[in-house]
Structure 1
């Protein structure tokens, strides 16, 4: 997710879980062997909630919890936020906390939790994001095929870069930003999702009606040089650039595009900026090695809450500081995440006899 306004971050950090009575679902203790783990068909991975889990301004988790009846609390003291489960649909909801470190720790803890049987589970990462106005508008939802890491790098402050360098930020095993050596792909720099599953999800959801509202309409009309940024929200395929720094502006937007093309060898297209997926996907990759999860059942959906560069006539600094007062597309992005993602969830759960053993193609 993009780093969001400080008030929201503090609220999320201060209240990681809603007080509720925990009813045991299985006769198993936390971090202990379990003879009868809970079966899980669908895992919804969100990163933050603004305040309470229900009844106030919705963050990423709230709509899933209320609309999908994730009301059975599973204590999770070894993670950021308690887990919530629907025993009828066998659907699990997670809030990892913000950032790749928390995401990796939370997903690892969930994956190793003996109370849960995740062997056939599908995973849907559903979060808000910065969105490149070259490709889409705020409120739009993008299914990723690739997630590229933006943190594993060398960096020289832009005020000290040598003459002729296009940027002071370049891959950690390169000799400069214009080093023509092929990209390394074995150190967590890029994660390729199951392309058939991502394409299936896109085909299933591409015609999903997405609500518009006057606030995001006013925002997108300012992007006179970006035709896609001026469209009402829509569904697309677009890849994610994952970095812990909340960056903004035309030059860094070009860096994200270049970095994504480089590490995907021209196959990927940067569309959304977020923070957590490299941690989430690394944890899933390790868990898959020991048979706890199936890494080919992971989907990443991000919806734009803000643009990654300002409209014409506005400086990057001014626009970034204004966004910190509240994202124009926050409400639209969390609503559209649910509307698009829930179509996939509904299809998978309604035809579990078909998808339990074989992912859709």
Structure 2
């Protein structure tokens, strides 16, 4: 009798503490009865979250405190939920009072991002099957396309680190025509398309959703930055670099290596074009995005998330190559010369990102819940066509899968 009373009291208290609890509908995706019978000894497991408590409409993904702060300062995240497996320095998911918007900080670099995103998406507390994920971080920028404070929304995320690398001292005499020591797996020439791939070299995102985010962000009043930013912009010859910040459709390069300079900038622009069959416009350099997208691709296969509801936004905190004044002094420019600070890029994360968040919340039932209006029409996913989304436009006709 006492146990029954305690159980009733617990449920009543839980419903009060979590107002969305009573609205929770079971997600029966991939429950046990959905698993086909098999006469082999292959054990297949199902994965559903019928007892999840929280169903956020939007999940904002930050990488470190500098990126999370504008969201925590401008939105009322009153709930903090500790999730096993998140970063030891960012162990909590922050959510609004009704749990409609949540924010998570995954840590910097590929490994931290992948580990945290996996822990988050597999948490039994959350049902992310209809959630929109928006990666919102800062990045280095290519002055041909962007300026300090610019806001970029990607269609492609390209991984630059999955290549062979030979130091300049070891190839410049034998291969004097090479402009870099990077070349693709399975090849012996920096200009060749990779013959061996891991599948994470390129991810393609929902173009229609990207365009909607760009449309909404373009009406935002962006932070133009500091006087130092303005002086740095004047040193460049590119019109894009000289301009004030704007919203740009262009693509992101992922690499744990924090690279800079004209040589590497030129090579990775070539690499981005090469592995997307000439369709990507590389403009931003970051460390985590392909890790995020790999996790979200895998989880989509099992109905845990919906890859079609993913947005990657990067704001430009610094130029990824020097202006002509420092073209022969890249190390000094990179390590000692101030570009005026990154305050504009941080402020613009919220200024440019909040319009799509608000649009999702305001038009949830009419537009976003079922995601029919902004359902992708382009190919989406990785090089393996894991999501079976149609004709792959980002790969060669054949390659060896490793």
The alignment status of 1:358 with 2:365, answered yes or no, reads no
Post-superposition offset of 1:360: 4.2
- Which residue number corresponds to residue 331 of structure 2? 317
Counterpart CA distance in 1 for 2:239 and 2:272 is: 22
- Which residue number corresponds to residue 72 of structure 2? 65
Q: In the TM superposition, what whole-angstrom CA distance separates every residue of 1:155-202 from its partner, at most 9, and x where no partner exists?
A: 0002222221221101123221123x4776662100001111111211
SS at match of 2:355: helix
Q: In the TM superposition, what whole-angstrom CA distance separates every residue of 1:10-44 from its partner, at most 9, and x where no partner exists?
A: xxxxxxxxxxxxx97479xxxxx872421111000
Check whether the contact 1:137–1:220 (CA below 8 A) recurs between aligned residues. Answer: yes
Structure 1 runs not aligned, ≥5 long:
1-22, 28-32, 50-58
The alignment status of 1:335 with 2:324, answered yes or no, reads no
- Which residue number corresponds to residue 8 of structure 2? none
SS at match of 1:39: coil
- Which residue number corresponds to residue 237 of structure 1? 249
Q: In the TM superposition, what whole-angstrom CA distance separates every residue of 1:204-252 from its partner, at most 9, and x where no partner exists?
A: 22232212232211111111x2221010111110100000000000011
Check whether the contact 1:207–1:235 (CA below 8 A) recurs between aligned residues. Answer: no
Q: Which runs of 4+ in 1 moved over 6 A?
A: 182-185
Counterpart CA distance in 1 for 2:346 and 2:195 is: 34
Q: In the TM superposition, what whole-angstrom CA distance separates every residue of 1:89-130 from its partner, at most 9, and x where no partner exists?
A: 511101000001110111111100010111100010000000
The count of corresponding residues between Structure 1 and Structure 2 is 322
Among residues 42, 46, 53, which one is paired with 2:58 in the alignment? 42
- Which residue number corresponds to residue 171 of structure 1? 184
Among residues 172, 189, 195, which one is paired with 2:207 in the alignment? 195
SS at match of 2:83: coil
Check whether the contact 1:138–1:329 (CA below 8 A) recurs between aligned residues. Answer: no
Among residues 149, 159, 167, which one is paired with 2:169 in the alignment? 159
Highest Rg: 1 or 2? 2
Check whether the contact 1:208–1:235 (CA below 8 A) recurs between aligned residues. Answer: no
Check whether the contact 1:139–1:329 (CA below 8 A) recurs between aligned residues. Answer: no
TM-score (norm 1): 0.85
TM-score (norm 2): 0.76
Deviates more, 1:138-147 or 1:158-167: 158-167
Post-superposition offset of 1:269: 0.4
Check whether the contact 2:185–2:194 (CA below 8 A) recurs between aligned residues. Answer: no
Counterpart CA distance in 2 for 1:214 and 1:205 is: 24
Change (3 A) 1:271 1:348: same
- Which residue number corresponds to residue 228 of structure 1? 240
- Which residue number corresponds to residue 299 of structure 1? 311
Please list, as runs of the form range in 1=range in 2, the aligned pairs for 1:1-361 lying within 5 A after superposition.
25=18, 35-49=51-65, 59-80=66-87, 81=90, 82-88=92-98, 90-161=100-171, 162-179=175-192, 181=193, 187-212=199-224, 213-223=226-236, 225-314=237-326, 315-322=329-336, 328-353=340-365, 354-358=367-371, 360-361=373-374
Cα RMSD (Å): 2.1
Change (3 A) 1:305 1:168: same
Check whether the contact 1:185–1:263 (CA below 8 A) recurs between aligned residues. Answer: no
Counterpart CA distance in 1 for 2:255 and 2:17 is: 38
Structure 2 runs not aligned, ≥5 long:
1-15, 23-48, 375-402
Post-superposition offset of 1:348: 0.7
Counterpart CA distance in 2 for 1:255 and 1:359 is: 39
Counterpart CA distance in 2 for 1:119 and 1:328 is: 41
Counterpart CA distance in 1 for 2:274 and 2:304 is: 32
